[in-house]
């Protein structure tokens, strides 16, 4: 997939993840896109560890959103500890 496609998919996954997770996640468009891309990487890593994906298989949409939601919860926990 091209870099533009990766950015577009990351943005869509990030938007869906932010809509699914309750609470106010104050992020801009760039952080939302990076969240979606990182969520896809997390989903692929966990899927490969569980034997669901092969070495060259990309993560699916639902798995990517779940990975992004996991990252949002971790981000909220870290932000909460800092007192921000």
Span between the terminal Cα atoms of the chain, in Å? 37
E-strand ranges in the chain read none
Q: How far apart are CA 13 and CA 70, in angstroms?
A: 13
Per-residue pLDDT of the chain (84 residues; tens, 9 = 90+): 678 888 898 999 999 999 998 877 778 889 889 999 999 888 888 988 999 888 888 888 899 999 999 999 998 888 776 554
Which residues have a Cβ under 8 Å from the Cβ of 43 and sit 6 or more positions away?
59, 60, 63, 64, 66, 67
What does pTM read for this prediction?
Answer: 0.81
For the chain, give me the number of helices (H) and strands (E)?
A: 3, 0
């Amino acid at each position: 997939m091209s870099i533009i496609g990766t950015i577009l998919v990351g943005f869509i996954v990030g938007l869906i993840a932010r809509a699914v997770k309750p609470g106010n996640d104050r992020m801009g468009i760039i952080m939302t896109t990076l969240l979606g891309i990182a969520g896809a990487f997390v989903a692929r890593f966990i899927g490969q560890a569980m034997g669901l994906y092969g070495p060259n298989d990309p993560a699916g949409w639902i798995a990517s959103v779940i990975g992004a939601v996991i990252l949002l919860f971790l981000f909220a926990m870290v932000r909460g500890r800092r007192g921000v």
